[in-house]
Amino acid sequence: MSSEKQEVYEHNGLPVDLEHKGSDASSSLNGDTQADYADEKLRVLGQVNPHYDHDLTWTPAEEKEVVRIFDLKILSWIGVMFFFLQLDRGNMSNALTDNIMVDLGVDLNTMTLGTTVFILFFCFFEIPSNLVLRRAGAHRWIPFLMVLWGLATAAQLWMHNKATFLICRAFVGMFEAGYIPGIAIYLTTYYKRQEMALRMSIFWSTLAIANSCAGVLAYFILQLRGTAGLAGWKWLFLIEGVATTFVGALSFFILPEGPTATRGYLRFAGYLTERQELIAITRLIRDDPSKADPSKKIVPKADIWRAVKSPRIWPNLLIGFFGLLPSTPIGGFAPLILKMLGFNGLKANLMTIPGFLLGLAVMSLVSYSSDKFNERAFHGAAATFYYACCVAGLALLPIGTDKVNLYICLIFAMGGSTCWHPVNAAWIAGNTAPVGKRTIALAMYIISVNLTAIAGANVFRNNDAPRFIKGMWVLFGSLLITISLFIFQRYHLLYINRKRALATKNWTTEDWKRYDETTTDIGDDRLDFVFQV
């Protein structure tokens, strides 16, 4: 019986919100009769999960308490893990303010090549890493990856020339692959679709916190130059790499497998009562029945192909590519830009902190508003417009402008660099089913936003320093494309929703039953899947 129900689940991804009968998600099932049929269908699908109780009711306060526990126990530790990921990803920009290029005998173009190597290995191993994660479980695979990239980061202290530099960057990129989309998939096992943008914002907010702290840490660690015969940048990689390895090892005992497996190890008596576990699972399945199957599976090849060829995913991937193109040159090279403008190298790291903190505030505001109003496209377009104005300001300031004015404009530009990023990631996660296809789609998204870093790392060239005016106009153009893509995707998905609603407008219960029995449509390809816009 169990395997039969799993087959039904795999071929009926029906994300309708039956807890709220008047919602848009249920509007494609016409009238009370169709809603009753969908309710019964959800009962069958939910039975795949032993913790699903179709007749369970709860108060808003009870659900709020469950979400609060997830925020405090799960999301907070994930934030700690991401904090160290970003330290390891961003410490190379801090090392640039030390004498790393002189010590390695390389120039800025070689450092750019190192960024390219890192990204290529990161992208190449992104999907394979997520395929393993789906089988092994995020609670095991993600801590394992963290230990490996922590060791690879610490090993960079042995870099001594161009070859060892490129090899180390390759290993760090390879081991960091899979972490971000893996975490996004992991969070969908705790949060509903309309809760994801804010949680992804909180997750990515640790990026801003890490970047802010990175400048402070780098300021003090780099002053260890000469201690024990090591350069300051070597101390930076060693200390942050060892710390990451420790946190990764600790995560094996802190991250639970899911909402119903929180007891044991450093979680002690667990996070939820038995009733809270039922609420946690039931609310998720009512929001998205594709989350009903609790088993670990190999992602079917068909799901990989469905994700790759889906015309509904690619606009979001292009949004990530063009929208984050400015992040690498503006954020990654900010300390170096400030140093070129005449600020002290060590203080240049500290001076980037206000930009990262502003980015945290803007990103949190955009994501909170997006979840509150259950709207994605206009929020993303508006946030990108703010970013584009700041980049244009950097390009339009006249030659000879006081460096303090340039610094202020740079800070405002850094504040908009990733402010819509969580909204787009949540948009993809909420609009993609079943789970296997969602896993690949999020991996593709992270690949797209990392591939853009290759292009972004080559926008600022030596002959355009230190203002990089030509480069700024290139970045401005990419942001205009991003705004257009946000608007296009909104009306693209609205068109599909209306087309499906029109096609099923006069369907009876028997028509829906016949559709379920004969269709080969799965997940978001089904006629009863309603896309978020």
In tens, the pLDDT along 44-57 reads 777 778 888 888 99
Q: Give exposure, 249-265, as e/b (b: 16+ Cβ within 10 Å).
A: ebbbebbbebbbebeee
Q: How far, in Å, CA of 402 to CA of 296, rounded? A: 58
How far from chain centre, in Å, is Cα 122?
A: 14
pLDDT value at position 231?
Answer: 93
Is the pLDDT at 126 greater than 50? The verdict is yes
Cα–Cα dist 47/51, whole Å: 8
Q: Would you say 190 and 280 are in contact if contact means Cβ atoms under 8 Å apart?
A: yes
Structure token pair of residue 483: 């705004």
Length of the chain: 533
pLDDT at residue 43 is higher than 60: yes
- Confirm if 486 and 377 have CB atoms less than 8 A apart: yes
DSSP line for 112-171: HHHHHHHHHHHHHTHHHHHHHHHHH-HHHHHHHHHHHHHHHHHGGGG--SHHHHHHHHHH
pLDDT, residue 212, reads 74
Q: Is the pLDDT of residue 333 over 70?
A: no
What percentage of the chain has pLDDT greater than the value 70?
A: 91
For residue 93, what pLDDT is reported? Answer: 80
Indicate if the alpha-carbon torsion angle 78, 81, 86, 89 is positive or negative: negative
Percent of the chain with pLDDT over 90: 54
pLDDT value at residue 33: 57
Confidence of residue 129 (pLDDT cuts 50, 70, 90): very high
Instruction: List Cβ<8 Å contacts ≥24 apart for 368-375.
Output: 368/198, 368/201, 370/197, 370/198, 370/423, 370/426, 371/194, 371/195, 371/196, 371/197, 371/198, 371/426, 374/194, 374/532, 375/533
- How far is 240 from 247, CA to CA, in rounded Å? 11
Contact status, residue 336 vs residue 93, Cβ threshold 8 Å: yes
Instruction: Specify the pLDDT at position 101.
Output: 92
Summarize the confidence of residues 48-69 as an average pLDDT.
Answer: 92
A 10 A CB-CB count for 124 gives 15
Q: Determine contact, residues 70/191, Cβ cutoff 8 Å.
A: yes
Tokens at 500, concatenated: 């499906």
Cis before 466 (ω within 30): yes
pLDDT at 296 over 80: no
- Would you call 51 helix, strand, or coil by DSSP? coil
Average of per-residue pLDDT across 170-190: 92
Degrees (nearest 5) of the Cα angle 368, 372, 373?
120
Of the candidate ranges 61-65, 265-269, 305-309, 501-505, the one whose mean pLDDT is the lowest: 265-269
More confidently predicted of 181 and 350: 181
HEC secondary structure over 87-100: HHHHHHHHHCCCCH
pLDDT of residue 208 exceeding 80: no
- Write down the pLDDT at residue 28: 43
The whole-number average pLDDT for the span 301-313 is: 93
Query: How many whole angstroms separate alpha carbon 233 and alpha carbon 99?
Result: 8
What is d(CA 286, CA 42) in angstroms, rounded to the nearest whole number?
Answer: 7
User: Of 48-62, 308-322, 323-337, 421-435, which range is least confident?
Assistant: 323-337
Q: Which one-letter DSSP state was computed for residue 501? A: H
Least-confidence region, from 29-43, 149-163, 211-225, 279-293: 29-43
Q: Is the pLDDT of residue 418 over 80?
A: yes
Report d(CA 183, CA 332) in Å as an integer: 23
pLDDT score of 6 more than 50:
no
| pLDDT tens digits for range 515-531 | 989 999 998 999 989 99
The pLDDT mean for the chain works out to 86
In angstroms, the first-to-last Cα distance of the chain is 37
Residue 389 three-state SS:
helix
Predicted confidence (pLDDT) per residue in 342-394, tens digit: 777 667 767 888 888 898 899 999 999 999 999 999 999 999 999 999 999 98
Reply yes or no on whether the pLDDT at 337 is more than 90: no
What is the chain's Cα-based Rg? 24
3-state secondary structure 210-262: HHHHHHHHHHHHHHHCCHHHCCHHHHHHHHHHHHHHHHHHHHCCCCCCCCCCC
pLDDT of residue 29 exceeding 60, the answer is: no
List pLDDT tens digits, range 388-411.
999 999 899 888 788 888 888 889
Token look-up 């407008």 returns 505
Question: Would you say residue 73 has pLDDT above 90?
Answer: yes
pLDDT band at 32 (very low <50, low <70, confident <90, very high): low
Average pLDDT over every residue of 274-291? 90
